[in-house]
Amino acid sequence: MAIVTQPVLCGKVGQSIDELDTPCLVVDLDIAEANISTLFSTFKGKKVAVRPHLKTAKCPEFAKLFLAAGAQGVCVSKLSEAEVMAKAGISDILITTEIAGNIKIERYLNLLAGSPDVKVVVDHIATAKALNEGARGRGVKPKVLIEINVGQDRCGIAPGEPALELAMQISKLSNLELLGVQGYEGHLQHIQDTNERKKCCEAAMAKLNSTVELIRSKGIKLTIVTTGGTGTCEFCAECSAVTEVQPGSFVFMDKAYGEAIGTKYKVALTVLATVISTPAKGRAVIDAGWKSLSIDSGPAKPADLYGVAYTPAGDEHGHLKAEEGNLPIDLGDKVKLIPSHIDTTLNLHDHYYCHRKNKIVHIWEIAGRGKVQ
């Protein structure tokens, strides 16, 4: 007999966030909407479109807020995230990570049958050929963008001649549509000095620009040139070749991004936790450890407690310690923590508890949570 589990909710619409069970994710929707409006007004009247990256929010409801604000479409990192968004009725989706192997190719082609506007990046002719062969006689046409390595040294073909060679090979594959290129400078997003970040971004964009010009000079059409995260998208938009930017973190922000780029976008999401033990003066234990707050970018930061530091104390426990004196909190108190890295933190949770002025207005499922395939 199959065991069917129901999601356990931490609270109800209409309640105050103080009544939520913990740990859970709370989103100040007024701030998230203000962040969206700040981002879209930054690009209003400019030549670039905005295609926000949903690797951060992983939630169709946020995708719909982006589209309502004027987004061109959305990005996702993984095919399984694209499946979630397509199921929610979102059509223009770019998968920004390469897929490889029969299982993924087949799964992408299946998705394409119902969602013909799902695009994917490629950086090797073998994948392009596999997509081309798989699509034969199937009534679908994969839409691909070539990923160009503009300096991150992750995926992506080298700019210049290697990228041109790949574009020429792909343009001969009749079952594919070559839509454009992606050049993502993820390694620059958190450079703290703005001038330095801008300078490095301009150098990365110069590689993208010259490669686009080279490919176009051979008569190959590139409609989309997409790149840029929260820390660089404004600089990318100045590059003549770029047609769209793909920031993601701006909607919630996190400790690491705030330290790098400042407060243009405000913190909209925190993890709500409860003090479960006060074993010693100046030290309390909360119910949020590694399973609630990721630590790949360091520890989270208490949102409203000054002179208090958070450190994880295991899977389910976290320490709050006063720099000096007593802690301004007691057993049973709720505390808010700003995640150090939002993407990896929210992938640990099932729902967003969205509030306005502390009153819960929506509980949204993080439908892309755990969708890492």
Ligand X SMILES: Cc1ncc(COP(=O)(O)O)c(C=O)c1O
The residue ranges that bind ligand X (CB under 6 A) are 53, 55-56, 75, 96, 184, 186, 189, 229-231, 246-249
Minimal distance, residue 139 CB to ligand X, in Å: 29
The letter for the amino acid at 278 is T
Minimal distance, residue 252 CB to ligand X, in Å: 10
Q: How far is the C-alpha of 157 from the C-alpha of 168, rounded, in Å?
A: 13
Minimal distance, residue 68 CB to ligand X, in Å: 19
Q: Is the dihedral of CA 166, 168, 171, 173 positive or negative?
A: negative
The letter for the amino acid at 360 is I
Minimal distance, residue 245 CB to ligand X, in Å: 8
Residue closer to ligand X, measured from CB, 55 or 301: 55
Residue closer to ligand X, measured from CB, 60 or 231: 231
Distant-in-sequence, close-in-space partners of 172: CB < 8 Å, separation ≥ 6: none
Beta carbons of 63 and 85 less than 8 angstroms apart? yes
**DSSP states along 270-281:** EEEEEEEEEEET
Q: Is 136 helix (H, G, I), strand (E, B) or coil?
A: coil
Residue closer to ligand X, measured from CB, 149 or 292: 149
Minimal distance, residue 373 CB to ligand X, in Å: 17
Which residue, judged by CB position, is nearest to ligand X in the bound state? 229
Residue closer to ligand X, measured from CB, 56 or 278: 56
Residue closer to ligand X, measured from CB, 11 or 228: 228
Residue closer to ligand X, measured from CB, 184 or 352: 184
List Cα–Cα distances, 81 to 74, 78, 259, 311, in angstroms.
11, 5, 29, 31
Minimal distance, residue 247 CB to ligand X, in Å: 4
Q: Which position has the token pair 């426990």?
A: 317
CA 34 to chain centre: 18
